[in-house]
Structure 1
C-alpha cells in the first residue's frame, strides 16, 4: 500500500461558545495519496471548512493526528496552498505581481515560474491587468496561480467557485482539472454541489453534521473528460444523493428524540 501524503486519524474538534461546548468534528479518519483529487461535500454546518482549516494549519486546537508528508501540521506553511471562497487579491497590484505576492519579479526564477503559471491558468495577455479589470473567474485563476507559486504539497480549496454564475463555474471546473492533470498537485476541494464533487474528484468524501463526521467515501472511477449527462455519472449522483437522504433521516430521528 502506498504511504499517504496526508494522514488524518481520530480527529476531533470542539468549539466553545456562550451556549457551551459544540463538537464540530468527530473521529475523522482520512488518508489522501499524493496526486489525488479529493472532494468534500455535506450539509451546512457539517465541518467542511473547519476540516480544511485544520489541514491548512490555520486551526491547531484539536485532538487527534493530522500529518502532511509524515510531519505533524502545526501551523500554516508554503507546503499548503489555500484558496478561499473569494480571490482576496491585492487591488493595487497587477495579475503578475499578485501571483508573485511577497517575491520579487526581478528574480529570474520567479519571473519564469509566474509566466508558466499564467499560461497554466489561461491568463496570457492579462499579466499587467489589475483585479478591477478581471471577471470573477479570472480573479480566482489568479488566486490559484498564486497558491501554486511555491509548489505546495497540497492545494486546499474552500468552495472557490460558489459565487460564480453557472457558465463560468463550469468553465472553471474544466480549468482546474486541466491544472491538476498537468501539475499533479494533490487537491482537496470543498463544495456544496454534488455534480461538482463528482465531476472533479477521484473520491467524494461525504460528511454528516452534528457532530461532523465522515458518513461515506464514494470512489469516482470515471475517466476524464467527464460528461454529467452520461448514465455512469448519473448513477454516481444517485448514490451520493441516497447518502444525503440517509443523513436527513438520521437528523429527523435525532430531532424527534426517538
Structure 2
C-alpha cells in the first residue's frame, strides 16, 4: 500500500445520553490513500456521522488518533471540507457569493476560482441565482463547490444526496464522480444506499451495528462508468448485502444522525 494520506488509529468514542453511556465507535482503524474515494455504509446509529465529525476535527473528545498528512487532527481547518445532509446555504447570498463564503469576490484569484468551480459543478448561468431559486440538487452542488474552494486534502460527505429524489440523486452521483475524476480530491462518503456505495467508491467500508467497528472492506474494481444493471455490479451488491446478518441491519436507513 502506498503511503496513507489519512490514518484513523484505534478510535473509540463514547458519549452520555439519557440512557447512560453509549459507545458510538470501537477500535476503528482505517488508512486512506491520497485520491481514494471511500464509501462508508452500515446500520442506523453505527457511528458513521460521528466518524466524519472526528476526522473533520469537529469532535476531539475521543480515544485513539486521527492523522492527516502525518499530523494529528486537533480541530477543524481548511484542509478538511465537509458536506452535510442539507446544503446549508446563506439565503441572502447568490450562488457565487455562497461559494466564496467569507472571501471577497473582489479578489481576482477568488473570483477566478469561484468561476472555475461553478463550471466544475455544472452551474454555469446560475451565478446570480439565490438559494430559493435552486433545486435541491443544484443547492447541494453549490455546497460542494464551497467545500472545494480552499482545495481541501480530504472532502467528507455525510449522506449529501439522501433527501433528493431518485432521478436527481442519480444525476448528482454522476456529477460528484466527474468532480472526483477531474480533481482527484480524497473523498469519504457516508451513505445508507448499497448501490450508491458501490457506484461511487474505490472501497466500500462496511460497519457493524453500534458500537461502530469495521466488519469488512470490499474493494470495487469495476471500471468507470459503472453500470448498476451489470452482472458484475449486482455480484458486488450481493456481496455487500450479505455482510448484514439481520433484517434490521439490512434496513440501512440512517435516521439517528450519530
Give the TM bin, normalised by the shorter chain. over 0.9
Give matches, 1:194-209, under 5 Å: 194-209=194-209
Matched-pair contact (CA < 8 Å) for 1:208–1:247: no
Contact 1:42 1:207 in 2 (8 A): yes
Greater share of helix residues, 1 or 2? 1
Which deviates the most, 146-155 or 19-28? 19-28
CA RMSD of aligned residues (A): 1.1
Alpha-carbon distance in 2 for matches of 1:206, 1:12: 17
CA distance in 2, matches of 1:117, 1:82: 16
1:24–1:46 contact (8 Å) kept in structure 2: yes
Q: Output the CA distance in 2 between the equivalents of 1:139 and 1:210.
A: 32
- How far apart in 1 are the matches of 2:157 and 2:18? 30
Offset, 1:183? 0.6
CA distance in 1, matches of 2:99, 2:178: 19
Distance in 1 between the 2:138 and 2:210 partners? Answer: 36
Give, in angstroms, the shift of residue 246 of structure 1: 6.4
Partner residue, 2:74:
74
Q: Matched residue of 1:115: which SS?
A: helix
How many residues align? The count is 249
Instruction: Tell me the alpha carbon deviations over residues 115-173 of structure 1, each in whole angstroms, 9 at most, x when there is no partner.
Output: 00000000000000000000000000000000000000000000000000000000000
- Whether 1:220 aligns to 2:238 is no
Using the TM superposition, give the Cα deviation of residue 211 of structure 1 relative to its aligned residue in structure 2, in angstroms.
Answer: 1.1
Alpha-carbon distance in structure 2 between the residues aligned to 1:239 and 1:132 = 41
Residue 19 of structure 1: how far off its partner (Å):
2.5
CA deviations 1:14-55 (Å, max 9, x no partner) are 011233211100000100000000000001010000000000
| Residue number in structure 2 paired with 1:7 | 7
CA offsets per residue over residues 90-117 of structure 1, 9 Å max, x none?
0000000000000000000000000000
| Superposition pairs of residues 86-105 of structure 1, within 5 angstroms | 86-105=86-105
Could you list the per-position Cα deviations for residues 167-192 of structure 1 after superposition, in whole angstroms to 9, with x for gaps in the alignment? 00000000000000001100000000
Q: Does residue 129 of structure 2 align to residue 122 of structure 1?
A: no
Distance 2:20 2:130 in 1: 46
In the alignment, structure 1 residue 232 sits paired with structure 2 residue 232: yes
1:131 partnered with 2:134: no
> Residue in 2 aligned with 1:174?
174
How big is the shift at 1:3? 1.1
Mind listing any 5+ residue stretches in structure 1 that lack a counterpart?
Answer: 250-258
CA distance in 2, matches of 1:18, 1:131: 37
TM-score if structure 1 supplies the norm length?
0.95
Residues 158 and 191, structure 1, Cα contact 8 Å, conserved in 2 = yes
For the Cα contact (< 8 Å) 1:161–1:172, is it kept in 2? Answer: yes
Partner of 1:65: 65
Structure 2, unaligned runs of 5 or more: 250-258
User: Secondary structure at the residue paired with 1:14?
Assistant: strand
Distance 1:136 1:248, change over 3 A: closer
Q: Secondary structure at the match of 1:235?
A: helix
Query: Shift of the alpha carbon at 1:2?
Result: 1.4
Distance 1:112 1:43 in 2: 42
